[in-house]
Structure 1
Amino acid sequence: MFYTRAAGPHTIVNGKEVVNFASANYLGFIGHQKLLDSCSSALEKYGVGSCGPRGFYGTIDVHLDCEARIAKFLGTPDSILYSYGLSTMFSAIPAFSKKGDIIVADEGVHWGIQNGLYLSRSTVVYFKHNDMDSLKETLEKITSKYKHTKNLRRYIVVEALYQNSGQIAPLDDIIKLKEKYRFRILLDESNSFGVLGSSGRGLTEHYGVPVEKLDLITAAMGHALATEGGFCTGSARVIDHQRLSSSGYVFSASLPPYLASAAITAIDVLDENPNLLTKLKNNIAVLWKGLSEIPSFTIASHPESPIVYLRLKKSTGSLNNDLHLLENIAERVLKEDSVFVVTSRRSTLDKCRLPLGIRLFVSAGHSESDLHKASESLKRVAALIL
């Protein structure tokens, strides 16, 4: 299976035009003319990049402009760019948490975060997915166990919008627990940046929480912004520390300038067009309504999540059998109705234990007929197979 055109709301797969629900193109920016023009201008001015790390000869003015634009958009003192979205979290975590430190993480975090937890060599304790009672119990036990240990750094690591479930983290409750038990919070906003909140500023805006309540925010830019790379944002002290101590920043070639330019343009377009968020929210609601009528599936994701997660209402009792059923459904809706959806199949390296499902990424670029086509196709095929 391969794309032969940019993975927008409609794309070409194996020579056939399909409605694409397999790409996290939340704002429909893939192929957006302003982003393409921005990339072309940057290529003409800077070329493809320096091929060197930021700390040596890799920093170009557009990198600094992009960091400043992200910080201004989110209302934080400073930010730092990474060259690869997935490496952002697994570089940032080990920069702050070391061997002997404690990390309490949600059991549903994606593989990039899992890798960061492993590389930190910290003591990692998982709590039940998005379960605040489980988090409170875990923090209580750790606080009691290590109450006489000095200089112990303690972190809570969560996703704003979980890639493996489509659930939204209850940030207000997490902050109350963080303040009570004196932990720091590392929040990954890869799937919520540009999506949640009235203007796309993420989970803090969604809950009306001051951004300074968080110690570090990370995000990949390959989803809502339709570019590549990632960023961390927070206090100037937190950002400066990463410039000297974060492996993904210190040892990687800098982000190609045209991608940094595209990120700036994407944020500008989002700022100028708040109706994109309204359209995305409406599209999510339309798809939810259609999918909720499929009797053999349950929707596991949050009603405001652009990751709509379908799970089998009744498991076969075997992970492999469940996966085979889900892949069969995905293949048939692609072949028979030209609707491209994917299962949440994971690699052997991914330790997430949440149930598998079919994952649909909703875009502001989808039309209402696209959404109806997806729900009707899945309903028809599921009735035949399940």
Structure 2
Amino acid sequence: MALRIAAVLAVAASVAVLANGQSVPGAATKAPAASAAKSNNGDLLAGLLASLGDWVKPADDFVQTATEYGKLMSGTMTFLTSPSSVYSEIVGMPRRAEDAWAFAQRKPLEAATRAIIFGIIIATWFFTKPKDVIRASGLTAAQQEDLIEDWEPEPLVPRAPRGTYVARPATFVVREQRVKTVLVEGRDTELLNCASADFLNVAGDPETKRVAKAALDVYTVGSCGPRGFYGTTDAHLSLEAALADVIGCEETITYSDATATVASAIPAFAKRQDVVFLDDAVNHAVQTGCTLSRCKVVRFRHNDMADLERAVKGECGSKRAPPSRRYFIVVEGIYANRGDICPLPEILAIARRFRVRTIVDDSLAFGVLGKRGRGTAEHFGINPLDVDITVASMATSLGSVGGFCYGSDEVVDHQRISGAGYVFSASLPPFLCATAEAALRRFTADATVCSQLRDNARTLRSLLELSRGRLKVVSSFEESPVIHVRLSWHSDRSVNDAHRIEEARAESEDPESLTRWKYAPRRSRPALRRFQGVEDDDLDRVVAEAADRGVLVARSRYLVSDKLAPANSIRIHVSAALTNEDLQKIAVVMEEAVEAAFEARDPAAHAAPARADTLRKRR
């Protein structure tokens, strides 16, 4: 509609220019004809605008005004029926090429302006069509009511086909969180909290709540703007200074969302022409950051340093690479999807040898590993600044929200103008900054909290491994506060697509081509999806049985678009406040819950589907 109204304005503007009585060189012989035509030019222009008015409805008021203006306009030239004549009159140029060239040399700006106006009119006329719409003014009230009653909205989510399995996950709504237990809706008893990543029990700590309330009284709730506008308070600056002091780095930068931290830091440095070497087990936020950077992503097998060196050699040794291309190795300190640790010393050695930058997501390791809880680098006895860019979440050991990134002054300052999550998002609420700073000072003042957390992780892992065989621990790092367990009748089955994919990826020369479903035969994909739903239902049953026995755990869930996601598992989070009695109770409850789920399973649903054992790599 705006384009059509612009066409009417263009016609009126061109006619107004011609109406000013400007002479056209070389057109003196046509002056008598033009003078004779001035008597009816108002009616012709009115007719033109009226026809355009029918075309650009419903702008009736505008067309009527333009028509009246055209009737009052005097001295306009005649719009003839011949296309060449229309061109000549609108643009104001004679028909002959030599006269047109002379006019363009004499008045180049006016000639170009008229040519542009003519082009807009022609393009608008031929390439736009009025849409067929039902006008409310043409319907009675009864007809409108009938249309409204007959209208049926389309579903926001497409309905599942008949016979499709739909998992019903166990859902718990927490109504109160205490130090190591929670109260959920529908239950009167407390549950041991093994579903939250609050490793140091900050969220339920009374001192933390007191600090949050005091900050609320001063700053209220929100910061009301991005950091670069008016969303920066002294609470933000104090938190960043405290983080830099604890880590021992030059400067830090905070984000208001944990996922957006790594998803903003990676594209702030890696650009389209760069190359990122990505571990095959990174979480979805890291994958999103690589996607947003639009750089070339080269994946290597999980924690396989030989495969990483091969990939780096292949890219860095290429003679076709432009001199400005940069290379990054992106890993996690403790992998959220696996629960194991990255071999950081070997990664840094490869990075130094080939002059590659490193980016580490240390969200699950900060506040957990190291003598002072400074993360993966301290765990290996490495200076944290040896890693070029380190990001971490404040939603784990700091019991707050958001995340932070640290490094050199150049690394931090660059993100203040290039980090999308920092520039375009509202800043972290000040009271959450105060909460995170209080938690930071708490575990740095008492290093035994971090060591107690690591001891609890080792103890619970050893207890779970002593179960009677229905439960299988798949996490490999003994000090990881995140323990992934799977059910034995799932992981031992040959039709389990996720395990087959892991095996195929380990044996494949091109692991990037393997995805979760797509390399399976087309006929077996529905069966595999149905079996994944059956397995998820088993895991949900285990979660519900554990909650009935007083322990709250969670099932891992992954997006369908996450091509690197492993098979779903039960995720157990360990906290520092758990005692040895609590850990023994968790191990006993998980064993009983798994046995109950095994007895309640449907053997027919777990039968091998036809053609499901013929998985092959998609070429």
Same fold by TM-score greater than 0.5: yes
Cα deviation for residue 186 of structure 1 reads 0.6
Query: Does 2:173 align with 1:6?
Result: no
CA–CA distance in 2 between the matches of 1:195 and 1:123? 33
The structure 2 residue matched to 1:18, chosen from 171, 174, 191, is 191
Aligned residue in 1 for 2:6: none
How big is the shift at 1:21?
A: 0.7
Whether 1:375 and 2:546 are equivalent positions in the alignment is no
The answer to whether structure 1 residue 328 and structure 2 residue 541 are counterparts is yes
Flag the structure with higher strand content: 1
Paired residues of 2:473 and 2:484 also in contact (CA < 8 A): yes
| Most deviating of 48-57 and 231-240 | 48-57
For the residue of structure 1 that corresponds to 2:363, the secondary structure is coil
Partners of 2:558 and 2:565 within 8 A in 1: no
For residues 289 and 557 of structure 2, the distance between their equivalents in structure 1, rounded to whole angstroms, comes to 21
SS at match of 2:358: strand
Amino acid at match of 2:262: M
The corresponding residue for 1:29 is 202
Tell me the secondary structure at the aligned position of residue 224 of structure 1. coil
* Matches of 2:275 and 2:453, distance apart in 1: 38
Structure 1, 176-185 or 309-318: larger mean CA deviation: 309-318
Give, in angstroms, the shift of residue 259 of structure 1. 0.7
* Cα distance in structure 1, aligned partners of 2:365 and 2:177: 22
Kept after mapping to 2: 8 A contact 1:323/1:345: no
Pair 1:213-2:426 in alignment = no
- Specify the SS of the correspondent of 1:140: helix
Question: Equivalent residue for 2:317?
Answer: 144
| 1:364 aligned residue | 576
> Per-residue deviation at 1:77?
0.3
- 3-state secondary structure, aligned to 1:375: helix
Q: Secondary structure at the match of 2:427?
A: coil
Q: Counterparts of 1:1-386 in structure 2 under 5 Å?
A: 1-6=172-177, 8-16=179-187, 17-145=190-318, 148-294=321-467, 295-301=469-475, 302-313=477-488, 314-316=491-493, 317-318=495-496, 319-335=532-548, 337-386=549-598
CA contact (8 A) 1:199 1:277 kept: yes
Q: CA deviation at 1:133?
A: 2.0
The alignment partner of 1:54 has SS state of: coil
Name the CA distance, whole Å, in 2 between partners of 1:321 and 1:131: 32
Query: How far 1:34 moved relative to its partner?
Result: 2.1
State the AA in 2 paired with 1:311: R
- How many Å separate the matches in 1 of 2:275 and 2:212? 42
> CA contact under 8 A between 1:4 and 1:15: conserved in structure 2?
no
Paired residue secondary structure (2:346): helix
With normalisation by structure 1, the TM-score equals 0.96
Structure-1 separation of matches of 2:227 and 2:424: 8
Equivalent-residue separation in structure 2 for 1:260 and 1:124 (angstroms): 35
1:255 Cα shift? 0.8
* Count of aligned residue pairs for this structure pair: 385
What is the CA deviation profile of residues 154-211 of structure 1, one whole-angstrom value per residue up to 9, with x for unaligned ones? 1011110111010011110110111112110111111110000011010110000112
Worse-matched range after superposition: 245-254 or 15-24: 15-24
Q: Structure 1 stretch 139-148 or stretch 212-221: which is displaced more?
A: 139-148
**CA 148–230 in structure 1, closer or farther in 2 if over 3 Å, else same:** closer
Structure 1 residue matching 2:254: 3-state secondary structure? strand
Contact kept in structure 1, 2:455 and 2:479, CA below 8 Å: no
SS in 2 for 1:217: strand
Q: Which runs of 5+ in 1 are unaligned?
A: none
How far 1:51 sits from its partner (Å)? 1.0
Q: Which has the higher contact order (CA 8 A, sep 6+)?
A: 1
Deviation of 1:351 after TM superposition, in Å, equals 2.6
Indicate the structure (1 or 2) with the bigger Cα radius of gyration. 2
Q: Distance in 1 between matches of 2:318 and 2:569?
A: 37
**Structure 2, unaligned stretches of length 5 or more?**
1-171, 497-531, 599-619
In 2: Cα distance, 1:134 partner to 1:34 partner: 48
Report the Cα distance in structure 2 between the residues aligned to 1:146 and 1:376, rounded to whole angstroms.
59
Runs ≥4 in structure 1, deviation > 3 angstroms? 145-148, 312-316, 318-322, 383-386
SS at match of 2:484: strand
CA contact (8 A) 1:8 1:25 kept: no
Say if 1:128 and 1:322 are closer, same or farther in 2 by CA, change over 3 A.
farther
SS at match of 1:281: helix
Q: Which amino acid aligns with 1:350?
A: D
Whole-Å Cα distance in 2 between the matches of residues 322 and 72 of structure 1? 47
Q: CA deviation at 1:146?
A: 5.4
- Deviation track 1:54-104 (CA, whole Å, cap 9, x = no partner) reads 111111111111111111111110000101111100011111111121111
> 1:293, CA displacement in angstroms?
1.2
CA RMSD of aligned residues (A): 1.6
**TM-score relative to the length of structure 2:** 0.60
Tell me how far 1:346 sits from its aligned partner: 1.0
Identity among equivalent pairs (%): 36
User: SS of the counterpart of 1:57?
Assistant: coil
Q: Describe the superposition over 1:359-382 as per-residue Cα deviations: whole angstroms up to 9, x where unpaired.
A: 100001222222111111111232
In the aligned structure 1, how far is the partner of 2:176 from the partner of 2:564? 32
**Cα distance, 1:7 vs structure 2:** 6.5
TM-superposed CA distance for 1:357, in Å, is: 1.6
Q: What code does the residue aligned with 1:349 have?
A: S
Measured in 2, the distance between the counterparts of 1:290 and 1:283 equals 11
TM-superposition CA deviations, 1:254-281 (whole Å, max 9, x none): 1111111111111111111112112212
How far residue 148 of structure 1 moved from its aligned partner, in angstroms, is 4.2
Q: CA deviation at 1:298?
A: 2.8
